[in-house]
Amino acid sequence: MQKPHTFDRFLIQRLGISFISLVAALTMIPIIVVFGYIIFRGAPAISWQFLAAMPRDGMRAGGILPAIVGTFYLTLGTAVFSVPIGIAAAIYLSEYARENWITRLIRIAIINLAGIPSVVYGLFGLGLFVLFLKFGTSILSASLTLSIMTLPVIISAAEEALRAVPQSFRTVSISLGGTRWQTIRKIVLPQALPGIITGVILGLERAAGETAPILFTGAAFFLPHLPNSPLDATMALPYHLFVISTQVPGMPIQIQYGTALVLIVFVLGMNIAATVIRSRARAKRQW
């Protein structure tokens, strides 16, 4: 009487597990194919020339230096604004805030900032920084826009890292006479630093790859020289890829794939750096 029942269940299990494994494989395969394809078609374009020279001939030849430098400046600009504010906000939430309605409101606000579409950020940046504050289409406007977008990522990651530090660390420090800020600065923050850095890098990775927020706030189709000041507009890798794949006739396909490759290496390099920092920190953790 029991045997057919058992037979059924295990057969279902084997089928089910095979099915789920298939689903997972179907998810993984496109990922590998996408990366592999871009690497395969983009690698031939990569040379020192490509990375370090200015574009020529209507951007159909030469290099993509201004786009690379531009993305670098934008990422830096984003970090300058979002990192201090983000970490400070995380410290507030983790160390100072009480669980009242205002704190809950802050958390809701953070979740909402994280969910706002990137093009709405672009709209907001256009309205506030470019037009209202008259910063114009500039690295400054674009960085400010990107940093508000990056803020929730940094705050969430930093807060989680701070909370992970055991309460006993703080208790001991205070019992030895330290003030709250001294405790944070000398004990909690250093311990949480790897987690915070991971969050910062992941946040900046997203900022580096975004196109919509910089479309109206800082990106330029072509500039004859590298940007000299934060009030200059700039070329940037994601916008450059968009432009050369849709706006320029006769663009060699090699350059398009090469640019795509450079962009994903830049962005994913940050991703890998963050992962490495995270796992090494986990190994070295003192608790």
Partner 1 sequence: MRLNRFILVLLLALLAACGSSTTHSSSGSQTTAYIQNKGSDTIVNLALAWAEKYQSEHPDVSISVTGGGSGTGIAALLNKTVDIANASRQMQAEEIKQAKANGFDPVEFVIARDAIAVIVNPSNPVSQLTMQQISDIYSGKIDNWSQVGGENRPIVRLSREVNSGTHVYFRDTVIRLGDPKNKTLFATDTLLLPSSEGIISEIRQNPNAIGYDGLGYVPADLKKVAVARNAGGPYVLPSIATVNDKSYPIARDLYMYTAGQPTGAIKAYLDWIVSPEAQTIVANLGFVPIK
Partner 2 sequence: MKKSLTWTETLITAVIKTCGYSAIVFVILIFFFLLREGVPTLAEVKLGELFSTRWYPIEAHYGILPLITGSVIVTVGAMLIAIPFGIGTAVFLSEIAPRWLREILKPLVELLGGLPSVVLGFLGILVLTPYLRILLNLPTGLTALAGALLLGGIAVPTTVSIAEDALDSVPQGYREGALALGATKWQTIWRVTLPAAKSGVLTALMLGIGRTIGETMAVMMVTGNAPVMAVKLSSIVSPVRTMTATIAAEMGEVANGSTYYHVLFFIGLVLFLISLVVNIIASSVVFKSKKRAERVLS
Contacts with partner 1 in 47-66 (CB under 8 A)? Answer: 52, 54, 56-59
Binding mask of the shown chain, residues 180 to 219, with x at each position contacting partner 2 by CB under 8 A: xxx-------------------x--xx-xxxxx--xx---
Q: Which does 151 bind (CB under 5 to 8 A by kind): partner 1, partner 2, none?
A: partner 2
The helix (run of H) or strand (run of E) holding residue 254 is helix 253-284
> Is residue 246 a contact residue for partner 1 (CB under 8 A)?
yes
> Is residue 196 a contact residue for partner 1 (CB under 8 A)?
no
Single residue of 85, 123, 174, 193 touching partner 1 by CB under 8 A:
193
Q: Which does 227 bind (CB under 5 to 8 A by kind): partner 2, partner 1, none?
A: partner 1
Contacts of residue 147, Cβ cutoff 8 Å, sequence gap at least 6: 77, 78, 79, 80, 81, 82, 85, 207
Contacts with partner 1 in 148-187 (CB under 8 A)? Answer: none
Q: How many residues bind partner 1 (CB under 8 A)?
A: 32
b/e sequence 234-263, b meaning 16+ C-beta within 10 Å = bbbbbbbbbbbeeeeeebeeebbbbbbbbb
> Is residue 226 a contact residue for partner 1 (CB under 8 A)?
yes
Contacts with partner 1 in 79-118 (CB under 8 A)? Answer: none
The whole-angstrom separation of Cα 215 and Cα 277 is 32
Q: Which does 168 bind (CB under 5 to 8 A by kind): partner 2, partner 1, none?
A: none
CB closer to partner 2 out of 128 and 187? 128
Residue labelled with tokens 């998810």: 27
Q: What letter would DSSP give residue 53?
A: S
Q: Which does 18 bind (CB under 5 to 8 A by kind): partner 2, partner 1, none?
A: none
> Is residue 137 a contact residue for partner 1 (CB under 8 A)?
yes
Residue labelled with tokens 């201004």: 66
- What is the Cα gyration radius of the chain? 24
Q: Which stretch binds partner 2 (CB under 8 A): 48-56, 62-70, 123-131, 225-233?
A: 123-131
> Is residue 222 a contact residue for partner 1 (CB under 8 A)?
yes
The whole-angstrom separation of Cα 115 and Cα 111 is 6
Q: How many residues bind partner 2 (CB under 8 A)?
A: 89
CB 150 within 8 A of CB 242: no
Residue 35 beta carbon to partner 2: minimum distance, rounded to whole angstroms: 8
Q: Which does 136 bind (CB under 5 to 8 A by kind): partner 1, partner 2, none?
A: partner 1
The whole-angstrom separation of Cα 237 and Cα 251 is 16
Contacts of residue 203, Cβ cutoff 8 Å, sequence gap at least 6: 82, 86, 150, 151, 153, 154, 157
The whole-angstrom separation of Cα 255 and Cα 154 is 34
List residues near partner 1 by CB under 8 A.
52, 54, 56-59, 69, 72, 76, 131, 136-137, 193, 197, 220-228, 233, 243, 245-251
